[in-house]
Amino acid sequence: MNRHSNGLTLAALVLAGLNMRPLLTSVSPLLGQLRQAMGLSSLAASLLPAVPMVMMGAVALLSASLMQRVPLQRLLIAGLTLLLLALAARGVIHDGQWLVVSALFAGLGVGVVQMAMPGVIRQRFAQRSAPMTGLWAGALMGGGGLGAALSPWLSAHFGWSVALTGWALPVLLAIMLWLVVRLPATHHAERIELPPLWRKPRAWSLALSFGLVNGGYATCVAWLPDAYHRLGWTAQAGGSLLGVMILCQVAGALLMPLLARKADRRPQLMISLVCQLVGMSGFLFAPLLAPWLWAAIAGFGLGAAFPLAMVLALDHLPHPQAGARLVAFMQGVGFIIAGCMPFIAGQLQAFTHSFTSVWIMQSAVTIGLILLNLRFHPHSYHRAFGRTVD
């Protein structure tokens, strides 16, 4: 492949990544306005971040059969088109229930793109798959930060409807770019015999860890701006706080995997989880003392844990096809777990009329994650899955 073709694919990859999270982060800073404008209920507000995450998980669980039947480029364009239509529809929605429906279809579109992109990276950037995966994760998280920071500004100048539907424009640009990208023809990999993952406790442990970490991200995305809005902050300030958290998340995603050069990933995982615990504890015990610091520390930890979880799963099954199936299982179950977390958090807040219960829940979950991840010693990898796929 020539340099121009690779550059075009790289640009398309980054632009697609930037579009994966604004559907979530553009809503949370505007919850106060949406409650007034369309009578958004507490249940609907809880479902808005939960439904897309669950859809991402469902698509990941179906990824093996879909990717065997449909070319990667067609999957990417189909997923982006579904996301485009869902975001564009928000411009004519004036009811909270239909906003949840748009989140469902947007989540399906995002799930399809996230499912196909690792295959694109392996095809086009086989010798640089690790840094390209880091770049993809960084773009994904960075797009979430843009959604959080810019949506309140868009709402203040053009109204909340434009602030929600305006994110369809970069999706349209991404579709146009992917229409001119040319991916190489795929060759079906040799099929190998794998143990049923759903029978393996380690596969469930990895999925639980991945899901709870991403549940922490989803909870912060869904409720952090609203928590500070209730403390007297403006929508713009709450969105900016979430933007800072996500900016530090990008830094964690890019930097921490560079330090994980030894076979044992637990030291880096412990650092990321302790950062999360410090940030969540800050939101709990001293929310107004140093909110920007708590957001930065929690964001760094959340961002670092995401790629480390991917690497940890691939370490268990080094055969590419086996590792890909384990990652798909981990993401499928994990995103469904992650989708439940902001819903539970929203219901806790509605029941207690305070975000204190939310941060207590997140702190307890993080302590549980520290204990769970201590079990992932490299010596346990082969014992967890056997040696049939070495």
Per-residue tokens: 96: 């909270």
Report d(CA 238, CA 60) in Å as an integer.
32
> Residue ranges of the domains in the chain?
1-182, 200-375
**Residue 25 near residue 147 (C-beta atoms within 8 A):** yes
Report d(CA 159, CA 150) in Å as an integer.
12
Q: Tell me: the pLDDT tens digits for 212-228?
A: 999 999 999 889 999 99
Q: Tell me what pLDDT residue 65 has.
A: 72
pTM: 0.85
Q: How many CA atoms does the CB half-sphere of 355 hold within 13 Å?
A: 21
Angle at 282 between CA 281 and CA 286, to 5 degrees: 120
Q: Tell me: the pLDDT tens digits for 44-59?
A: 888 888 899 999 999 9
**Residue 66 near residue 119 (C-beta atoms within 8 A):** no
Query: Residues with Cβ < 8 Å from 352, sequence gap 6 or more?
Result: none
Report d(CA 8, CA 184) in Å as an integer.
14
Q: Tell me what pLDDT residue 388 has.
A: 45
Report d(CA 278, CA 32) in Å as an integer.
28
Q: Tell me what pLDDT residue 390 has.
A: 39
Q: Roughly what angle, to the nearest 10 degrees, separates helices 42-61 and 201-229?
A: 150
Could you tell me the end-to-end alpha-carbon distance of the chain, in angstroms, rounded to an integer?
A: 31
Same fold, 1-182 and 200-375: yes
Query: Residues with Cβ < 8 Å from 127, sequence gap 6 or more?
Result: none
Q: Which residues in the chain land under pLDDT 50?
A: 1, 388-390
**Residue 212 near residue 53 (C-beta atoms within 8 A):** no
Residue tagged 């939310």 (tokens): 358
Q: Tell me what pLDDT residue 224 has.
A: 93
Compute the residue count for the chain: 390
Torsion sign across C-alpha atoms 289, 295, 300, 301: positive
Report d(CA 223, CA 303) in Å as an integer.
18
1-182 topology per CATH: Growth Hormone; Chain: A; (1.20.1250)
Specify the CATH architecture of the domain 200-375: Up-down Bundle (1.20)
